[in-house]
Amino acid sequence: MTFTRGKTPELREATWHRIYISSLFTYELPRTVETVKYYLPAVEKPTDIFVGGIGATLLPQYIKDRVKCQVIEGPLDKADILGPGIPEIATYVPDYSMIKSVHWEYEPEDSYFCRVTKGCIRKCKFCAVPILEPAFGYLNSIDAQIREVRENFGERQYLVLMDNNILAIDGFEAIVNEIRQQGFQAGAMRNKRKRTVDFNQGIDARLITPEIAKLLATICLLPVRLAFDHDGIEKQYRRAVHLLAQNGFDTFTNYVMFNFNDTPLSFYKRLKVNLELSAELGIRVTGFPMRYVPIDDVNRRYVSKDWRWRYLRGIQCVLTATHGMVSPNPEFFDTAFGETYEDLLEILAMPDRYIIYRSHFKKEAGYWKRSYRRLSAEDREEFLALLGKLNKSKTRKVDIASNKKFGTLLEHYYPNGETPPRELK
């Protein structure tokens, strides 16, 4: 048995009885299909290749329409799904030796990866969990999982929990007790280093009560992860941060979704709430923007009705420069996202390299701003729509050359009609 990631020539040249391919996000399904095609010569018949996982469960027909193989939908929670005599593996402890097989540093490598629950009590329209795991419930104890990992792969420094909504399970206090008993109580140390517990998928701000906040304070939780997905939960979100801060938590990395049913203004205001809470409570609430992509979008091109492609691209460029995080430092925030909402829209409209390398292109950005600010509100909308079309155009150079109205501005985005390199030479 061999594990690999992606296309490996040596493995393709061998002959295999079976090949199992795991799909992740649906926008990676084109690559999944290409991987299946790549390994077809390595099996006797196409049905010896099995494809499962998240993408295959959500869009099985996408794979079936493009390549011959066996598509497995849903969790592997019953025997014989992978073949006669193969037991259910949904509750198996992962093979930690696979981490060593990748050719890059896997940051949370020295961690126990555990999952106590399955599913979620929420039915959020933007989330795939209700489809993947429609029933919410208990899955496996932390004690059993950590014990098995320790016996097979040795002691680990950190604990990462992958539950979708662990606070919703009955008996959460008992789960916290298990976490403490396994050596992850508040202030825990190992090898003279701090231990941490990370609820990696986030905890539900709406379920934070004074009792839950006190309970969480008994373990070495760092960072706290909440989700601020839309304006409708602002009151509960603020309350949760207050309660947790009162119990000693001062480091938050909170998910902020955009491009769903929100607007750029909503996104900006939610980021600002994190700044307000940080200043008010003397804590650090870092934002972690998450762009919404529908389940059936395999190319990550979705733009919701109140957004513009250029704005989404602009956020991607800002986050490239900030390593995906939004610092609650006011000076940093004002530079990255603007002091006002109008500043934000102007920053997001800028050409990619002017955003990512602002100091380097400061003079060029000044020329761009003068031209852009001369546009009327109607012309700006027309220009932003044009940028979205050019992004998908297969005749971009010709389209740009024929556009007289915005020629000067377009030169900043496409010098001589060409796409400039993202990296500075």
pLDDT tens track for 135-187: 999 999 999 999 999 999 999 999 999 999 999 999 999 999 999 999 999 99
- Cα 225 to its chain centre, rounded Å, is 13
Do the Cβ atoms of 286 and 254 come closer than 8 Å?
yes
Rounded to a whole number of angstroms, the distance between the first and last alpha carbons of the chain is 44
Do the Cβ atoms of 287 and 256 come closer than 8 Å?
yes
Domain 96-300 belongs in CATH node 3.90.550.10: no
Asked if the model's pLDDT at residue 40 lies above 80, the reply is yes
Q: Tell me, what's the pLDDT at 57?
A: 96
Do the Cβ atoms of 183 and 190 come closer than 8 Å?
yes
Q: Tell me, what's the pLDDT at 82?
A: 87
Q: Tell me, what's the pLDDT at 100?
A: 78
Q: Tell me, what's the pLDDT at 84?
A: 86
Q: Tell me, what's the pLDDT at 90?
A: 81
Percent of the chain topping pLDDT 70: 100
Q: Tell me, what's the pLDDT at 264?
A: 98
Q: Tell me, what's the pLDDT at 421?
A: 86
Asked if the model's pLDDT at residue 425 lies above 70, the reply is no
Q: Tell me, what's the pLDDT at 239?
A: 98
- Cα 44 to its chain centre, rounded Å, is 37
Identify the CA nearest to 353 among candidates 254, 297, 423.
423
Mean pLDDT of all residues in 228-238: 97
Please, which pLDDT band fits residue 65 given cuts at 50, 70 and 90? Answer: very high
Containing 258, the helix (H) or strand (E) segment is: strand 251-258
Asked if the model's pLDDT at residue 228 lies above 90, the reply is yes
Percent of the chain topping pLDDT 90: 89
Mean pLDDT over the full length of the chain: 95
Asked if the model's pLDDT at residue 99 lies above 90, the reply is no
Please tell me the distance from the alpha carbon of residue 292 to that of residue 303, in angstroms, as a whole number: 9
Mean pLDDT of all residues in 297-323: 96
Q: Tell me, what's the pLDDT at 316?
A: 97
Do the Cβ atoms of 372 and 409 come closer than 8 Å?
yes
Containing 290, the helix (H) or strand (E) segment is: strand 284-291
CATH 3.20.20.70 intervals, the chain: 96-300
Identify the CA nearest to 116 among candidates 141, 149, 143, 147.
141
Mean pLDDT of all residues in 218-244: 98
The DSSP code for 232 is G
Please, which pLDDT band fits residue 72 given cuts at 50, 70 and 90? Answer: very high
